[in-house]
Amino acid sequence: MKRSIVLLLTTILIGSCCFLNPDKFCKRECDSNDENCDNVCVRCFCTNGVFDPDQGEEGIDCGGPCKQDCGARPPVATCNDNIQNGDEEGVDCGGSCPNDCDDDPPIATCNDNIQNGDEEGVDCGGSCPNDCDDDPPPTATCNDNIQNGDEEGVDCGGSCPNDCDDDLPPPTASCDDNIQNGDEAGIDCGGTNCRPCHCFDGIQNGDETSADCGGSCQACHCVSCQQDGDETGIDCGPSCDRKCPQNIDERKELMITNLNVVEDPIEALSTNGSFHIQTLFDRLAVASGRTAKEVMLQFLTSWEDTNLSMNGFNIAARPSIRSKVIDLWKQRDGQAGASDAAWNMNFANAPFRLLAIVNRFDLFDKAGSDVANAGEGRFVFCVVNPDGTGAQFTIIFEYKLPASNEAELIEWAERWHALATAGNFDRNYINALKAITDDFATCANLAQIRTNEVHLEAPWELREFNINCGNSTLFEVSRKLTPDDRFNNTERLRQFIENNADALNQDLVTFEEGDGFLAGKVTTPFPPRQFFWNAPGLSFDNTLARHRLSFNTCNGCHGGETQTDFTHIDPRNAGSEAQLSGFLEGICVDDPLTNIGRFFDDLRDRAVILEKFSQPSLESIREMDVSSIVRDRRNRTH
């Protein structure tokens, strides 16, 4: 479907009184000259469940311009959204709420860009550590091609050693380094060399002929979800910002699922092979002198913990881990009924199957010339059912690729790219891959282990673990970039999206521990394809910000935003190769609210990035070629 708002919505917008007046919505279509139009159109703020006094409401969705009489509709107090509404006498207290306002004072979150609790301003005053009269002391970096801190110019003056009167080379806009530098008007946009910033806000503005395309933005055929114009692939090719990769073998360099590899008798099926799950646990255990059994058992029994909470949210136990995984393994070992302590765990019988080895170089952490890592390398396994079939339970080991400078970054890209010519999934290829994985699969490099499952019980649940290499202890952590489930379709989420829309559009928003927002658990109701994050009364201008927030969450990306049935790499049976999601291999997905089509082909985008860094002399790979892709994955963790 064309992404063009004009083409998509013309039949809806023309002649509709409600869309000619954006603060309304229609119960049925009517002409703007229809004298009965007001009888079938209702203002949006009159149905959003929030008291909007600035719109003239006298209560929640009643009085003033709303048709509902407040006398006939008592105000509703939510009592748990950290906002004073309904008949509350304070924030979430008094009126019909169970909490008395004389009890504990309301909670100030202090870091969610919303004034709540006893804050005297946005995230300041009251019980917050920041005084509303204070400004954070400016920091001049002096070497990042940005004017910041007390600099009087770009990297000069103030506390910098360079005087702004000295001759300095003109600043350069890089357009794809996640930093606003040179003459960029925003991060990687605007100025002389980069696309205008209005090309990335999800609405039609500036000289665009449709949302974010036409005029000074890329051609609209580049966002049409089909191969047209001068494209050489769907929405990629010559005049489009996104380029089609020219010389990357995705299934050898990026997503390795070939059975010769994942069922290799030496490296994948032997317990001392580099791709076997015992080897990965051995390497986690050896750092502290523990055994692989001890680390594995502590990992599995964490699902039995009935006292687990994260970021203020309780995480319910899933005790069937005992019967569906632990006891099954004991039976395979011929030790049914043995206690955990007495169990002689045999990893040759471990109920896990390797699905894929994955190159996530695209997640590299680079700002300007500063490099923190070269992305990730991953092993993906599934749990195996008693009958040998793959269970809906995947375990993903995600390791950082260590790099501290651009030369090491490029070296990792070149090593992955060299797999294309290392062999046809033969012993030479497997040995080359083993050399790569042995260099990153260590305890020190483990970023996290993630699990996706509905095998233990419904609904689908995602968990995340970090490790303390000092004692080889895996421990659960909050789920990144994902609010707690309770905030979906709430006023608080609407406020967050609208207050942070620009940052969300640029993928610059993160959630922090202790903010009362970041999820302790992530679940996805059935069917996952119908799940997405939304908020009542969200303005049309912020629908892209809604999508970016939802897409970057664990359950949004594994659900409705990509039309995925929760796993991007599906569990497999022995002798069958794992199947991949449309998000990875190519799919057009209509936005659940606007019906604007978005084409996803994540392996292709990863290939373009790998191609740029593994073949820096390739003339066709320019800064603009990867800027839009890099921009779209600034916050990516999946």
Q: What is the pLDDT of residues 409-455, one digit of tens each?
A: 999 999 999 999 999 999 999 999 999 999 999 999 999 999 999 99
Q: How is the chain split among helix, strand and coil, in percent rounded to 5?
A: 30, 15, 55
Q: For 586-598, what is the mean pLDDT?
A: 92
At 333, the pLDDT band (50, 70, 90 cuts) reads very high
SS3 42: strand
Interatomic CA distance for residues 326 and 320, integer angstroms? 9
The reported pLDDT for the residue numbered 393 is 98
Give the burial class of 391: count Cβ atoms within 10 A of its Cβ; 0-12 exposed, 13-18 middle, 19 or more buried: buried
At 128, the pLDDT band (50, 70, 90 cuts) reads confident
Interatomic CA distance for residues 227 and 225, integer angstroms? 7
How remote is the C-alpha of 28 from its chain's centroid?
A: 37
At 125, the pLDDT band (50, 70, 90 cuts) reads confident
The reported pLDDT for the residue numbered 180 is 77
Contact 373, 427 (CB under 8 A): no
SS3 221: helix
User: With 90 as the cut, is the pLDDT of residue 10 above it?
Assistant: no
Interatomic CA distance for residues 205 and 541, integer angstroms? 10
The reported pLDDT for the residue numbered 27 is 35
Helix axis angle for 406-418 and 602-614, nearest 10°, is 120
Mean pLDDT of the chain: 82
Scan for tokens 């302590």, then name that residue: 341
Q: Pick from 145, 201, 70, 78: which is nearest to 536 by CA? A: 78
Cis bond before residue 459 (omega within 30° of 0): yes
User: With 50 as the cut, is the pLDDT of residue 404 above it?
Assistant: yes
At 242, the pLDDT band (50, 70, 90 cuts) reads confident
The reported pLDDT for the residue numbered 623 is 43
Contacts of 222 (CB under 8 A, 6+ apart): 213, 229, 231, 235, 236, 239, 240, 241, 242
DSSP 8-class letter at 369 = T
Interatomic CA distance for residues 103 and 247, integer angstroms? 66
Q: What is the pLDDT of residues 494-517, one digit of tens each?
A: 999 999 998 898 888 887 777 778
Q: What is the pLDDT of residues 146-156, one digit of tens each?
A: 666 677 777 77
User: With 80 as the cut, is the pLDDT of residue 80 above it?
Assistant: no
Q: How many helices (H) and strands (E) does the chain have?
A: 18, 15
Assigned token pair, 228: 């047209």
Q: What is the pLDDT of residues 175-201, one digit of tens each?
A: 766 667 788 888 778 888 888 888 877
Give the burial class of 596: count Cβ atoms within 10 A of its Cβ; 0-12 exposed, 13-18 middle, 19 or more buried: buried
Interatomic CA distance for residues 326 and 464, integer angstroms? 19
Q: What is the pLDDT of residues 371-388, one digit of tens each?
A: 999 999 999 999 999 999
Q: Pick from 76, 201, 103, 112: which is nearest to 493 by CA? A: 112
Interatomic CA distance for residues 382 and 570, integer angstroms? 8
Interatomic CA distance for residues 610 and 401, integer angstroms? 14
Q: What are phi and psi of 363, to 5 degrees?
A: -90, 15
End-to-end CA distance of the chain: 26
